[in-house]
Amino acid sequence: PVNRTPDMQEERLKLPILAEEQVIMEAVAENPIVIVCGETGSGKTTQVPQFLYEAGYSSDGSIIGVTEPRRVAAMTMSQRVAKEMNLSQRVVSYQIRYEGNVTEDTRIKFMTDGVLLKEIQKDFLLQKYKVVIIDEAHERSVYTDILIGLLSRIVILRKKKHLPLKLLIMSATLRVEDFTQNQRLFATPPPVIKVDSRQFPVTVHFNKRTPLEDYSGECFRKICKIHRMLPAGGILVFLTGQAEVHALCRRLRRTFPRTRHGPQEEEDQKDSVEETRKFKKSRARAKKAQAVTLPQINLDNYSVLPVDEGDEDREAEMDEEEEALGSDLDLDLGDEGADEGEQPDTSLPLHVLPLYSLLAPEKQAQVFQPPPVGTRLCVVATNVAETSLTIPGIKYVVDCGKVKKRYYDRVTSVSSFRISWVSQASADQRAGRAGRTEPGHCYRLYSSAVFGDFEPFPPPEITRRPVEDLILQMKALNIEKVVNFPFPTPPSVEALIAAEELLIALGALQAPQKSERMKQLQNSRVSCPITPLGRTMATFPVAPRFAKMLALSRQHGCLPYTITIVAAMTVRELFEELDRPAASNEELAILKGKRARVAQMKRTWAGHGASLLLGDLMVLLGAVGAWEFAGGSPQFCEANGLRYKAMMEIRRLRGQLTTAVNAVCPEAELFVDPKMQPPSESQVTYLRQIVAAGLGDHLARRVQSEELLEEKWRNAYKTPLLDDPVFIHPSSVLFWELPEFVVYQEVVETTKMYMKGVSAVEVQWIP
């Protein structure tokens, strides 16, 4: 029995899905697999687990599992459901990659899809669970797709063992043919239950023209108009990234400051404190830039004591401390500061809140609170608000129509981040957010003709990225013929073959005989068995190339270093983005000063001689080592251009990898040492070999002067896969060194093709 509070009960009864409880529960009782479709906000995520709980699906101590593609959703939804049911988080719990609050009493468990995949590796039958719910299946994340494929088989096996498992697939769109019309996946098409959306009409307004560049500015102008001219009701704005979200939030807060005593006033004060700090700092930096003095460095223990620490800087640091306590990652975009004619308007307070996935959970929770009396709520969000979270009280949606995505070249894996148009389905989802509580309006900042050219649906992620990590995981689950796996949508044959070739080269899969291989390729039946090395690699929660490095590092005491390097490469982007446009001269001075400081620190961390040849990976090792040695503070990050969030994540991943390595190699007796000594010269040599073995297929050779036919090849490198020249990224410590052979972590295309994460290697050249 569940003892909900009367208020909560009343609120639940308003949700359309409550009317379908009986239909859903009967379908679940009669079918092993059921699909539930319903608009975002209809109550799927919060209510269906409760229906199952009340129907007794966890009464014998089993667990009702719910997977989410996003960490945010797993956490917030577990809290929300616990609250609705008046149960503690010991019973309704969550588990994400590094953390969770699952206990012996847990009956409803929200988790990311990656967590459930790992559990399948430990117990293929998932015997702890009586029901598994795959939520947000319409998002078609890679792990969601794989889980659905695996669960389609697990359901059959569990039936044979007379321990039936129920599978629910929940989607916010009606487009579920990939699940229902796929005979290989589900021989009998599962029933689809449609939940009435009880959606109020949303009037869609298109722009006459589509702004070419400045959609952020266009959003700003639209919000101002809505706020000044239209009746009460919350505004939800869709932008593409965290930096844009913050820039727009600040611009709006400046334009519509809150009156006395509000919490927002504090925020604004913080902003102005920050402005003062920046100004002070820029003065200090400007002074410094005139005479850059080398910091005094004791390489033995990584400690860093800049000798020219002025008083002004110390003041600035104190402000920073305050800032670190209260505000989020703040990035500037060049488009603000130029609000001609935008005088602060105190008569119309606007309650502005950011929302994106990396935002701290307590800040995310703010969007669910009613805004202070006399203010209008305005949430500036990334894609997270599109489907997984429903914000109450939204009447106006402003949609820039764009989304930021990572694109991979299918053959070469060269990747780039691109901002592109969303699909029609996504745009409609966004519009739908406006009609949850009353009729609403959606302002699309693009023309209806442009909308007509959008793709109807976004392609499933599995068709868009390299799949070597998935293939290794699947092989570790003894799925030999990956081609026969019941993918809802299979990855391309090229991607499958590229993944197998890489895994064979890494020694994770057994290479077939040549004749056998030809046959396989012709039938595109890729079916090499996994090797013992491959099994070990699969236990490490990192990309196969990095797993190989870990597997090779047993000797010479290299493991702690490899773990650190691998953790840093996995988390990526340790350093702040400093190549951004500056809004003012002061800011430019700050950026310049910081760039100089970071470049200097990178050189220090890279060291000389052998260690410099380890290049950017030595920088990663030095940065993590120095930060931990200095106590792991946010101030250290700020001073050295490091991202605090990234550093914290590296710390957690180091812990997790250390545990994983100890599990396969207990004699190593590893622990995470915050005072790790730098590697010795001979260890650096081993590390370079280890790195070369892991990144062996990412080899590049400098173009010799006699080969220099065209100007575009100056200082360029040639790789086996690409016809075009690639370059060492200017942020690399090897940018000036230009070693003959290098390996790289990845190639990212911006203005040119740039190698990032570069190390020098020696290659025996046999002409």
What are the residues binding ligand ADP (CB under 6 A)?
15, 38, 40-47, 76, 80, 368, 390, 392
Q: What's the token pair of residue 141?
A: 């994340």
From the list ligand ADP, Mg ion, none, pick the one residue 38 interacts with, judged by a Cβ distance below 5 to 8 Å according to partner type: ligand ADP
Partner whose footprint covers residue 42, from ligand ADP, Mg ion, none (CB < 5 to 8 Å by kind) = ligand ADP
3-state secondary structure 191-256: CEEEECCCCCCEEEEECCCCCCCCHHHHHHHHHHHHHHHCCCCEEEEECCCHHHHHHHHHHHHHHC
Eight-state DSSP code of residue 104: T
CB of 616 to ligand ADP, least distance (A): 41
Q: Residue type at 11?
A: E
Phi, psi at 134, each rounded to 5°:
-100, 110
**Shortest spacing between CB 66 and Mg ion, in angstroms:** 10
254 vs 433, which CB is nearer to Mg ion? 433
Residues composing the chain: 767
Parallel, antiparallel or unpaired: strands 741-749 and 753-760: antiparallel
Tell me how far apart the 2 most distant CA atoms of the chain are, in Å.
82
Residues 6+ apart with CB under 8 A from 459: none
Judged by beta carbon distances under 5 to 8 A according to partner kind, the member of Mg ion, ligand ADP, none in contact with residue 43 is ligand ADP
Q: 42 or 531: whose CB is closer to ligand ADP?
A: 42
Strand-pair category, 394-399 with 92-95:
unpaired
- For ligand ADP, which is the closer residue by CB, 133 or 243? 133
Footprint of Mg ion on 40-59 (CB under 5 A): 44-45
Q: How far is the CB of 133 from Mg ion (least distance, A)?
A: 10
Residue 430 near which of ligand ADP, Mg ion, none (CB within 5-8 Å, type-dependent):
none
Give the burial class of 69: count Cβ atoms within 10 A of its Cβ; 0-12 exposed, 13-18 middle, 19 or more buried: buried
CA distance 136 to 146: 14
Closer residue to ligand ADP (CB): 234 or 491: 234
β strands within 575-722, DSSP E? 699-702, 717-718
Q: Which residues pair with 354 in a beta bridge?
A: 380
CB of residue 7 to Mg ion, shortest distance in Å: 22
* Residue placing its CB nearer to ligand ADP in the complex, 140 or 729: 140
Minimum CB–partner distance for residue 74 and Mg ion (Å): 11
Interatomic CA distance for residues 471 and 479, integer angstroms: 9
| Beta carbon nearer to Mg ion, 385 or 760 | 385
Number of Cβ atoms within 10 Å of the Cβ of 737:
15
Shortest separation between residue 383's beta carbon and ligand ADP, angstroms: 15
Give the nearest distance from C-beta 16 to ligand ADP in angstroms.
9
Q: In the complex with ligand ADP, which residue's Cβ is closer, 51 or 220? A: 51
Residue 80: which of ligand ADP, Mg ion, none does it interact with, CB under 5 to 8 A by kind?
A: ligand ADP
Tell whether residue 67 is a contact of Mg ion (CB under 5 A): no
How far apart, in whole angstroms, are the C-alpha atoms of residue 510 and residue 334?
Answer: 52
The span of 36-44, 441-449, 554-562, 733-741 binding Mg ion (CB under 5 A) equals 36-44
Cβ 167 vs Cβ 120: under 8 Å: no
Select the residue whose beta carbon is closest to Mg ion and give its number. Answer: 45
Residue 731 touches which of Mg ion, ligand ADP, none (Cβ within 5-8 Å per kind): none
76 binds, among ligand ADP, Mg ion, none (CB under 5 to 8 A by kind): ligand ADP
For residue 112, CA distances in Å to 69, 86, 242, 348, 397 come to: 6, 23, 22, 41, 28
What is the closest distance, in whole angstroms, from the C-beta atom of residue 219 to ligand ADP in the complex?
A: 24
Nearest approach in angstroms of CB 747 to Mg ion is 37
Residue 407 φ then ψ, to 5°: -110, 140
Q: Cα dist. 287→62, 224, 401 in Å?
A: 65, 40, 44
Number of alpha carbons in the 13 Å side-chain half-sphere of residue 636: 20
Q: How far is the CB of 20 from Mg ion (least distance, A)?
A: 15
Q: Which residues pair with 563 in a beta bridge?
A: none
Task: Using the minimum distance from each CB to Mg ion, give the nearer residue, 44 or 253.
Answer: 44
- 594's enclosing H/E stretch is helix 585-606
Measured from the CB atom, the residue of 44 and 433 that comes closer to Mg ion is 44
Half-sphere exposure of 247 (CA within 13 A, CB side): 25
In terms of phi and psi (left: phi > 0; alpha: psi -120 to 50; beta: otherwise), the region of 194 is beta
User: For ligand ADP, which is the closer residue by CB, 39 or 586?
Assistant: 39
How many angstroms separate the CA atoms of 166 and 52, rounded? 10
Binding partner of residue 242 among ligand ADP, Mg ion, none, CB cut-off 5 to 8 Å per kind: none
Which of residues 242 and 390 has its CB atom nearest to Mg ion in the complex? Answer: 390
Tokens of 421: 């148009």
What's the angle, vertex CA 715, arms to CA 713 and CA 716, rounded to 5?
A: 55
440 interface partner picked from ligand ADP, Mg ion, none, CB below 5 to 8 A per type:
none
Q: β-pairing, 717-718 with 296-298? A: unpaired
Nearer to ligand ADP, 80 or 652 (CB): 80
**Nearest CB to Mg ion, comparing residues 133 and 700:** 133
Rounded to an integer, what is the distance from CA 541 to the centroid of its chain? Answer: 15
Q: Which residue has the tokens 């995505």?
A: 405
Report, in Å, the least distance between residue 387 CB and ligand ADP: 7
Residue 56: name its binding partner from ligand ADP, Mg ion, none (Cβ under 5 to 8 Å by kind).
none
Closest CA to 176 of 154, 156, 166, 191: 191
| Smallest distance, Mg ion to C-beta of residue 398, A | 22
Instruction: Kindly state the smallest distance separating residue 17's Cβ from ligand ADP, in Å.
Output: 7
Partner interacting with residue 255 (select from ligand ADP, Mg ion, none; CB below 5-8 Å by kind): none
Question: Closest Cα partner for 690 from 553, 499, 533?
Answer: 553
Binding mask 652-671 for Mg ion (x = CB under 5 A): --------------------
CB of 6 to ligand ADP, least distance (A): 16
For the packed helices 311-326 and 263-290, what is the interaxial angle rounded to 10 degrees? 150
CA angle 208, 211, 217 (to 5 degrees): 115
Would you say 15 or 566 has its CB closer to ligand ADP?
15
- In the bound state with ligand ADP, the residue whose beta carbon lies nearer, of 45 and 640, is 45
* Calpha distance 604→623 (Å, rounded): 10
Q: How is residue 396 written in tokens? A: 């106006």
Q: Which does 392 bind (CB under 5 to 8 A by kind): ligand ADP, Mg ion, none?
A: ligand ADP
Q: Is 85:53 a contact under the CB 8 Å cutoff?
A: yes
Nearer of residues 53 and 754 to ligand ADP, judged by Cβ: 53
Closest to ligand ADP by CB, 46 or 413: 46
Among 365, 321, 332, 323, residue whose Cα is nearest residue 242: 332
**DSSP code of residue 100:** B
Taking the complex as a whole, the smallest distance from the CB of residue 70 to ligand ADP amounts, in Å, to 12
CB of 187 to Mg ion, least distance (A): 28
User: From the list ligand ADP, Mg ion, none, which binds 41 (C-beta under 5 to 8 Å, kind-based)?
Assistant: ligand ADP
The count of residues interacting with Mg ion (CB under 5 A) is 2
Least spacing, CB of residue 380 vs Mg ion, in Å = 21
Interface with Mg ion by CB under 5 A: which residues? 44-45
